[in-house]
C-alpha cells in the first residue's frame, strides 16, 4: 500500500500509474472507516487497476464546530483496514495541502433547489463545503471513476450536479448503503452511541421500511407524520422525514407524481445526528 500526505508526491505517483495503463478509482472519506467505506473500496477495485482512498476531515463542511471537534479520528485502524482491503493508495493530506492560501476561492456552484432542502436546509453551508473539497480532491487525483455511498444520497446528487456543471470527465458511481444485521446504516458517528442507543437507532430503518410497505395505503404527507411519530416513540428526535422525487429532491404530494420516490430521514439521538434513506 502506498501512502501519501503531500499533494505533489501523490500527483507524481498517479501519473506513473496512468502511464502504466492503470485506471484510477477514487474513494473520498473522512476516516473512522467501517464496512460501508470498504464496500466503496471493493467496488472501485473491481473496476480499476488503482484505487485511491483519501482520509480528510474537511473543516469547511462542518456547520457546527462541536461536531468537527467530536468527529472520530482513528488513523491507525483506518490504515490497517485499508491495507486488509488491498487498497493500493492512501492519501492523508494536511488542511494546508487541500486549502493552500493561494487557492482559497473555489468556484461557486448553482445547485438550484437541490441544496435548499433536507441536509441543505438544516446544515447551512454544508454542501458548499462538500462541493469545495470534492472539487479540490478531484483536481488532485483526476480519477476515472468516483465512488460514493447511497447513505448520503443528497450529497451524491450535489456532486453529480457539480460534475455536470464543471463538465468533468469522471464517472460517478453510487454504492448501496451497507447496514448492520439490525438494519442500522453504518456510519462513523455510530461509535458515539451507547449500546442502548444503537438499539434505539434501529427505529430509523424500521420507519423507512414502514413507509415503503404502506405506500399504496397512505399519501406521502401522512406516512411522513406516522414515521416521525414512530421515531419519537423510540426516543429519537426527528429533524425531517421527507418523501421526495429522487432526481429533484422536491417533496411529493402524491406517489403517482413520479416514477419512483425516495424517503430521507435525519434524526438526533444521544447528541448524535443520524441520516438514512430508502428508495421506494
Strand partners, 175: 149
Residue whose grid cell is 485502524 = 77
Query: Should residue 134 be labelled a site residue for ligand AMP when binding is judged by CB under 6 A?
Result: no
Query: Should residue 149 be labelled a site residue for ligand AMP when binding is judged by CB under 6 A?
Result: yes
Rg for the chain, CA atoms, rounded: 19
Contact code string over 2-41 relative to ligand AMP, x by CB under 6 A: ---------------------------xx-----xx-xx-
Q: Provide, rounded to whole angstroms, the least separation between the CB of residue 221 and ligand AMP.
A: 28
Choose one: 2-10, 80-88, 94-102, 185-193; the region binding ligand AMP (CB under 6 A).
185-193
Q: Which is nearer to ligand AMP, 77 or 233 (CB)?
A: 77
Q: Are 116 and 240 in contact (CB under 8 A)?
A: no
Query: Should residue 146 be labelled a site residue for ligand AMP when binding is judged by CB under 6 A?
Result: no
Q: Which is nearer to ligand AMP, 40 or 141 (CB)?
A: 40
What burial letters (b/e) apply to 66-76, b meaning 16+ CB within 10 Å? eeeeebeebee
Query: Should residue 186 be labelled a site residue for ligand AMP when binding is judged by CB under 6 A?
Result: yes
Query: Should residue 148 be labelled a site residue for ligand AMP when binding is judged by CB under 6 A?
Result: yes
Query: Should residue 236 be labelled a site residue for ligand AMP when binding is judged by CB under 6 A?
Result: no
Q: Provide, rounded to whole angstroms, the least separation between the CB of residue 12 and ligand AMP.
A: 25
Give the separation between CA 163 and CA 116, rounded to whole angstroms.
Answer: 19
Q: Tell which residue, 265, 155, 139, 244, has the closest CA to residue 147.
A: 155
Query: Should residue 53 be labelled a site residue for ligand AMP when binding is judged by CB under 6 A?
Result: no
Beta strands (DSSP E) in the chain are: 2-4, 24-29, 50-55, 89-91, 145-149, 171-175, 237-244, 262-269, 272-279
Q: Angle 153-37-247 (CA atoms, 0-180°, nearest 5)? A: 15
Query: Should residue 178 be labelled a site residue for ligand AMP when binding is judged by CB under 6 A?
Result: yes
Binding site for ligand AMP (CB under 6 A): 29-30, 36-37, 39-40, 148-149, 151-152, 175, 177-178, 185-188
Amino acid at each position: 500500500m502506498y501512502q501519501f500526505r503531500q499533494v505533489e508526491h501523490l500527483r507524481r505517483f498517479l501519473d506513473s500509474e496512468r502511464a502504466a495503463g492503470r485506471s484510477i478509482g477514487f474513494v473520498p472519506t473522512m476516516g473512522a472507516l467501517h464496512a460501508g467505506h470498504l464496500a466503496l473500496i471493493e467496488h472501485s477495485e473491481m473496476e480499476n487497476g488503482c484505487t485511491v482512498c483519501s482520509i480528510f476531515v474537511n473543516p469547511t463542511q462542518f456547520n457546527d464546530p462541536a461536531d468537527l471537534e467530536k468527529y472520530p479520528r482513528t488513523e491507525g485502524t483506518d490504515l490497517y483496514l485499508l491495507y486488509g482491503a488491498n487498497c493500493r493508495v492512501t492519501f492523508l493530506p494536511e488542511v494546508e495541502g487541500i486549502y493552500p492560501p493561494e487557492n482559497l476561492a473555489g468556484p461557486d456552484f448553482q445547485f438550484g433547489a437541490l441544496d435548499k432542502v433536507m441536509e441543505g436546509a438544516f446544515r447551512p453551508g454544508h454542501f458548499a463545503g462538500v462541493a469545495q473539497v470534492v472539487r479540490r480532491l478531484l483536481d488532485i487525483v483526476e480519477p476515472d471513476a468516483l465512488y460514493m455511498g447511497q447513505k448520503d444520497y443528497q450529497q451524491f446528487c450535489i456532486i453529480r450536479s457539480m460534475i455536470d456543471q464543471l463538465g468533468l470527465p469522471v464517472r460517478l458511481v453510487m454504492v448501496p448503503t451497507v447496514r448492520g444485521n439490525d438494519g442500522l446504516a453504518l456510519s462513523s458517528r455510530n461509535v458515539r452511541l451507547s449500546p442502548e442507543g444503537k438499539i434505539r437507532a434501529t427505529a430509523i430503518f424500521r420507519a423507512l421500511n414502514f413507509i415503503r410497505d404502506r405506500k399504496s395505503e397512505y399519501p406521502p404527507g401522512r406516512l411522513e407524520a406516522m414515521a416521525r411519530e414512530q421515531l419519537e416513540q423510540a426516543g429519537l428526535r426527528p429533524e425531517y422525514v421527507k418523501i421526495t422525487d429522487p432526481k429533484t429532491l422536491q417533496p411529493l404530494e402524491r406517489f403517482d407524481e413520479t416514477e419512483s420516490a425516495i424517503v430521507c430521514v435525519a434524526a438526533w439521538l444521544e447528541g448524535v445526528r443520524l441520516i438514512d434513506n430508502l428508495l421506494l
